[in-house]
């Protein structure tokens, strides 16, 4: 009788122990399951956050669209003031001179070349009085203008000023068929015939001069001179 009771107790103990052992993995799995979503969620959130950050960085890294080039058309007038005097006797062919834009250049209502922009030109011909059939000749043109710190090569009409014998004066426009380019007032001096009127039609400009007979052609510093573009100028 006692042995049966003992065996019954032993069997019950073994069953209880087996049940306890079988429940531990489930508990461990439950604990693992509880921890796993938190980690996965954190990882997912971190991944999404990183992706968003990378996406924002990519958007911010995109370069700004380049500004469209503006074309200043051929025929546009460029009026400058000379930085120094040039003349048929004091200058030589090939000599450069400085100038600044006297009036702004606009395209479509927008200022493309501001007043005060630096420009450079060249003396293309200079003959003192008595070396060219008794007369003096001075011819100049612009070859560059600086816009927003960048120097742009330009092709303009030439302006020719001639003085022929004994006080006779001529103003000749050259450079491209219609003879574009003109001298505009601002020439100092005295004597008769102090000013020459409009040259070669509308838009050509005017020229002032003051010479006593048989003198060389001189354009003093600060003289205003107008040229016209012979070719379009692209500005970016």
SS3 30: helix
Query: For residues 152 and 100, what is the distance between their CA atoms, to the nearest angstrom?
Result: 14
pLDDT at 98 over 80: yes
Query: For residues 222 and 122, what is the distance between their CA atoms, to the nearest angstrom?
Result: 16
Query: For residues 143 and 99, what is the distance between their CA atoms, to the nearest angstrom?
Result: 11
Distance of CA 15 to the CA centre of its chain: 92
Please, what is the Cα angle at 202 between 139 and 204, to 5 degrees? 15
The arithmetic mean of pLDDT across residues 65-81, rounded, is 91
Report DSSP letters for 135-148, one per residue: EEEEEEEEEEEEET
Asked if residues 157 and 182 have their Cβ atoms less than 8 Å apart, the reply is no
Place of tokens 């510093």: 221
Asked if residues 181 and 174 have their Cβ atoms less than 8 Å apart, the reply is yes
At residue 130, the pLDDT reads 77
Per-residue pLDDT of 163-204, as tens digits, reads: 876 545 555 544 443 343 444 444 433 333 333 333 333 333
The arithmetic mean of pLDDT across residues 197-226, rounded, is 62
Asked if residues 40 and 33 have their Cβ atoms less than 8 Å apart, the reply is no
């Amino acid at each position: 009788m006692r042995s049966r009771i003992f065996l019954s107790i032993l069997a019950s103990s073994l069953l209880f122990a087996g049940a306890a052992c079988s429940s531990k993995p489930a508990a461990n799995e439950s604990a693992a399951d509880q921890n796993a979503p938190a980690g996965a969620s954190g990882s997912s959130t971190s991944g999404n956050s990183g992706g968003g950050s990378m996406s924002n960085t990519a958007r911010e890294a995109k370069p700004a669209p380049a500004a469209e080039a503006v074309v200043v058309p051929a025929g546009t007038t460029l009026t400058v003031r000379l930085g120094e005097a040039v003349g048929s006797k004091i200058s030589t062919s090939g000599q450069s001179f400085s100038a600044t834009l006297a009036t702004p250049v606009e395209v479509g209502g927008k200022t493309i070349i501001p007043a005060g922009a630096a420009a450079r030109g060249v003396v293309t011909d200079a003959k003192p009085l008595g070396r060219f059939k008794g007369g003096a000749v001075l011819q100049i043109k612009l070859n560059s203008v600086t816009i927003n710190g960048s120097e742009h090569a330009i092709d303009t009409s030439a302006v020719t000023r001639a003085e022929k014998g004994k006080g006779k004066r001529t103003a000749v426009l050259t450079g491209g068929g219609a003879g574009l380019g003109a001298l505009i007032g601002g020439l100092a001096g005295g004597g008769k015939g102090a000013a020459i009127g409009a040259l070669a039609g509308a838009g050509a400009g005017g020229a002032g001069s003051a010479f006593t007979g048989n003198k060389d052609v001189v354009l003093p510093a600060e003289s205003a001179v107008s040229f016209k573009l012979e070719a379009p100028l692209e500005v970016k």
